Every structure is written in C-alpha cells, then in structure tokens.
Structure 1
Amino acid sequence: MPAPTLPAHLGYVAVEGVIGAGKTTLARMLAERAGGKLVEEEFEENPFLDRFYGDRDRWALQTQLAFLASRFKQQKALAARDLFVDHVVSDYTFDKDRIFAHVTLDGDEVRLYETLYGIMEPSAPVPDLVVYLRSSVDRLLHNVALRGRSYESNMDPAYLTELVDAYDRYFFHYSKSPLLIVDSSRIDFVRETATFDELVRQIGSVRGGTAYFNPPATMQLAF
C-alpha cells in the first residue's frame, strides 16, 4: 500500500503551533511526502530577536514589526502560486504575527501594529487547511532544549504559557479556513512512521470546519 500523501484539494497547507511544537519539522515532512514546495518562516533574519529574548519590553515592537514586514513579503510571493507545484506547505500563517503581537505589545504599540496589519492582511493568501499542533508547556520546553538555539536557552516558561493560552484563544474562534487541531504533546511523528502516516491521513480527510486528531493510546509516548 502506498504511503498516504496530501490530496489534490489541499494545494496550500499551513502548520501552526507555539515555539517548539514541531511545526517546521512537520511542514518539511509534509512537503517532502507530497513532492511540494516548502515555505519556512525567516526568523533567523530578524536582527532584533536575540535582543528581544534578553529584554522583551525594550525590543518587542521592533521585533514584531520586523517579523510583520518579512512575513508580508513572503506571503505576497506565496500569493503568486507556481502553476507547476501542486502543493505548498508553510510552517506558519500570516495571522501568527498578530497572535504574538497581542502577547508582547501594549497600548499605542498594539494600535500601531493593528493599523499596519490591517493594511497587509487582505493581501495574504488563505490556506486550504491549517494544522495546529497543540502541545503542553513541558513538551515545548523539552523540544526547545533539544534544538539548542542560543537565544532560546533561557526561555521563560511563563512566556510559553502566555503563548499557549493566546494560540488556544485564537484557534478556538478560527474560521478563515478548515482547521485540524492535533494533540501533539505525546506523539513522535518524526521517528514513528505509523504515527506520521496516520497524521497525514487525518490531514487529508478534513474537508471543512474544525476537526480534531487525538492520537490513540498506542501512538502516545511518555515524556
């Protein structure tokens, strides 16, 4: 039996989740399985990111505006779809930036951000499906520690908790496109081929609304 892949109706899939949820890894795996194009967030090109993790209050606005400009540029390019590529898989949605902004900014900064976001958002393409990898803070911290990025070495658990809450609130009300919420806290779709295959099947089965993938006990791991 051939391995499951993305069906034709999912031309543009976006994978979302909090820092350390595994969204980039899953996006890469999906793009490879489908023979599609991968679009990755250019976070390492943000010149303010290191400083933000050292002093959130001081560098939040600069960091968010740099991300907003970078993501808008990518989204504009994505809107001009390559006719020779059947599937595009992204490791973020344009709305991600707004989720972070409402966690890190206050007052006039939020109002400035909302003005700029409102100008840009109508030009951003809407995915055919969003996959939200929902994870516990403990699992996120575990994954962040494993990848060993220097600027994430002192990641504040309280900040991750804020982000998890913000993501949950956002996706609880999400209706722009079909949505699959995946409980990814206790699964390993990287090393467990059967788990990844089942996740791909679940992704391909979503046709509208919000669906949930709660992995069975046989797929769950202890962390």
Structure 2
Amino acid sequence: MSTLTSVYIALGSNQGQREVYLQKAIEAIFTKIGSVTHISSVYETPAWGFEGEAFYNACIKVKTRLKAQQVLKELQEIEITLGRRRHSKRYQNRTIDLDILFFGDDYIADSNLKIPHPELSKRDFVLFPLADIATQKTHPILNQNIEKLKDDLPKNNTIKKTDVKLKPVNFKVPDVNYICIEGNIGAGKTTFVEMMEEDFDAKLILERFKENPFLPQFYKDPKRYAFPTEMSFLADRHQQLVDDITQLDLFSNFSIADYDLYKSLIFARITLKDQEFKLYKKVFDIMYRNITKPDLYVYFYQNTERLLENIHKRGRSYEQDINADYLEKINQGYLNFIKNENRFKTKILDISELDFVDKREDYLKLVGDILNF
C-alpha cells in the first residue's frame, strides 16, 4: 500500500459559473485523487497573458496515495469532464484549470510535469491562496517559504479576495466505537483497514500473524502442527484484543481491526481433528465469552481464483502451497458464522471485482457501503 503524500493543487476558472466549476473540481478530486484537507479563500484576478474574463482562483491541499504522474492524469481527466477544451495557445479562457504546485517534497522534471510548478513564485493568483493554507511551506529550490514569496511580489497586483466559500468534501465519521473487517486469506482486509485508519484517524488493531512461530511449519505439515498453531493464534488474538479494545483511545474516532477472535474457531474447525477441536472449543468459549464484540462486523468476500492470485502476488513463501479447497472451506466457515450470528451487526461485501488499492472510486464505494449500513 502506498503511503499518503501531501499535494498542493491550484484551481482556476474564468468561464460560466466560476464558483460552481471550482466546487465541482474539489468534489471530483476527492473522488479520484484523495482527501481534501485544506481549502483556501477564493481570489479574483484579471485574466493573465490574454484577453478574457476575470478568474476565480483557489488552492487546496490533498492527501493522496497516487503517484505524481497519476495525479496529473486524473486532473486532466477532471478538466475534460468539466468542459475544458485545450488549444494550441498557452493562455486561454477555461472552465477549469488544475495545476500541481507541490507533491510532497519531490522535485520532478519530466517532459510533461515539473514540480514544484516553475511559475508559482511569480504569480499572485497562486501565492495568495496558497499562503492561506501553506504559509510555512518551503519551496525546495528557492529555499523560501510561501509567505516570503508572496511578500516579495510587486505591490501593484490587482488580486482581490472574494466572499465565495468553497465547501470541503469529508468522510462521514461512523457513529460506532469498533468496526471489524474480516476476510479470507489474501482478501486484502489488512490493507483496507490501514487505509481507513489513515483517512479517519482511527485506532488500528492488526492481527500479529507474523509472530506465530508455528505457521510456516503448519503450511508444510498441517496435521502435525495444526493444534499448536491454532492455540498460539487464539492466545495471541485474545491477548491483543484485551489489551487494545478495552483501552479507550481519546485521540481516535473509533477502533478498526482486521480480525475478530471468532476467526480462530473457524480455522480450528477446518484444521483440527475431532478430539483436538473439542478441547480447543472449551478453551475458546471461555475466552470469547467476555471479549468485546464489534459494533459492526464486515466480511470481505472474494472468489477463490482472485484469492489465489493475491496470495501469489504478495509472495509470502509459507503461503504458496495453500490450495483452493482450503480457501473454500474457510470461506464457508465465515458464511456459516455470519448466517447464525445475532450478537452484533454483520454485513457481507463482495469485493471480487473491485480494486480498492489502485482505484480510489472502489475504495470510496466500500467505505460508503460500510458507513451507510
């Protein structure tokens, strides 16, 4: 999963309902690129470099997981969607103009993309709104912050601050304390909860499967290592949930986990012999009785073919011998559990045709399905 990068984007419009175009651009950027965390005031300036109507200009700060070239591609598609028509002339009237100013602290000098924007230090219609949201942001080449660059502009500028207020587009914080996202091996649940943790400032609870010393041996010899593997998982999961869920985190909106303790019973039912499972279930029932249950339990269903592809792609050596039959048994175990569960809310989401890592719209769809439940 890519980490979040702060990208500053300049917006301008001098055709039609200028305020509407700026607002629609912000909404499209949220959908296509990332969360809009800061929005400047809107400034009006005369057309620059050609004869035309005055521009409305603003700047925004966006947190994105996309690469710089991907952001550029999405911005150009948004411009087209909002009616911009490019011509041979460099300066022209436009319904919307979207430019990347900064992309983290990166310096990029490609043929079609230069970052920092090479003209930003000379343009009042960029520096005034940018100073609203990035006063102390330092230009990595000029080694001066935005406030200083703005102050150094000629004093005869004609820029005017307007009363126009652009509206932010935010995630709705769920009215729950604890969400669990479950799924089969390779379903992508851990990646998803990590993304939600970043976007919602949630408390993240991840399964510590890498610390299980029996797991590699189990995949090589399931019959021999099934019982110690499952007991080790059960003990670790229970202890972690006791430690994490029962502690109120005043600095997070909610807690989100990529597992629930009940998964231990699902896997144990598949892997253990009858006598082993009876003993295991006695221990499990004692542990599960008083553990905190999620307010919402979401199961990411993914077809077996896609699961095997994901497992192969992530390349964990000890997982490469997992077969389709084992995955199908796990999936059926989860579906049976959800079918009979009445202690908390459950929801099944089919993600077989979605790519929430590389397609933000797919990610937003899943988030919406969860929050609107």
Residue aligning to 2:186? 20
**Contact 1:13 1:128 survives alignment (8 Å):** yes
Match for 2:265 among 76, 89, 98?
A: 98
Counterpart CA distance in 1 for 2:290 and 2:247 is 11
Return the offset for 1:5. Answer: 4.1
Match for 1:49 among 215, 222, 231?
A: 215
Return the offset for 1:176. Answer: 2.1
Counterpart CA distance in 2 for 1:180 and 1:124 is 20
Return the offset for 1:85. Answer: 2.1
Match for 1:164 among 328, 331, 356?
A: 331
Match for 2:229 among 49, 63, 74?
A: 63
Change (3 A) 1:103 1:167: same
Task: Provide the secondary structure at the position in 1 that maps to 2:179.
Answer: strand
Counterpart CA distance in 2 for 1:44 and 1:5 is 33
Residue aligning to 2:15? none
Return the offset for 1:181. Answer: 0.9
Counterpart CA distance in 2 for 1:100 and 1:5 is 34
* Most deviating of 13-22 and 82-91: 82-91
Ranked by relative contact order (alpha carbons within 8 Å, sequence separation 6 or more), the top structure is 1
Task: Provide the secondary structure at the position in 1 that maps to 2:261.
Answer: coil
Return the offset for 1:125. Answer: 0.9
**Contact 2:189 2:258 survives alignment (8 Å):** yes
**Contact 1:38 1:89 survives alignment (8 Å):** yes
Return the offset for 1:83. Answer: 2.9
Residue aligning to 2:177? 11
Percent of paired sites with the same residue: 37
Residue aligning to 1:214? none
Which structure 1 residue ranges, 5 or more long, are not aligned? 207-223
Return the offset for 1:3. Answer: 3.9
Bigger-Rg structure (1/2): 2
Aligned residues: 205
Residue aligning to 1:186? 353
Residue aligning to 1:203? 370
Counterpart CA distance in 1 for 2:266 and 2:341 is 12
Counterpart CA distance in 2 for 1:4 and 1:191 is 19
Counterpart CA distance in 1 for 2:170 and 2:307 is 29
Any runs of at least 4 consecutive aligned residues in structure 1 with deviations exceeding 6 A, and if so which?
A: none
Counterpart CA distance in 2 for 1:189 and 1:22 is 9
Return the offset for 1:54. Answer: 0.4
Task: Provide the secondary structure at the position in 1 that maps to 2:253.
Answer: coil
The within-5 A match list for 1:118-197 is 118-197=285-364
**Contact 1:11 1:128 survives alignment (8 Å):** yes
Counterpart CA distance in 2 for 1:4 and 1:127 is 21
Residue aligning to 1:215? none
**Contact 2:173 2:253 survives alignment (8 Å):** no
Counterpart CA distance in 1 for 2:322 and 2:253 is 38
* Most deviating of 148-157 and 81-90: 81-90
Deviation per CA, 1:22-70: give whole Å up to 9, x if none: 1101111111111111111000100100000001111000000000000
Return the offset for 1:194. Answer: 1.2
**Contact 1:102 1:110 survives alignment (8 Å):** yes
Counterpart CA distance in 1 for 2:173 and 2:273 is 40
* Most deviating of 172-181 and 129-138: 172-181
Counterpart CA distance in 2 for 1:198 and 1:174 is 25
Which structure 2 residue ranges, 5 or more long, are not aligned? 1-26, 28-168
TM-score computed with the length of structure 2 as normaliser: 0.53
Relative to its length, the structure with more strand (as a share) is 2
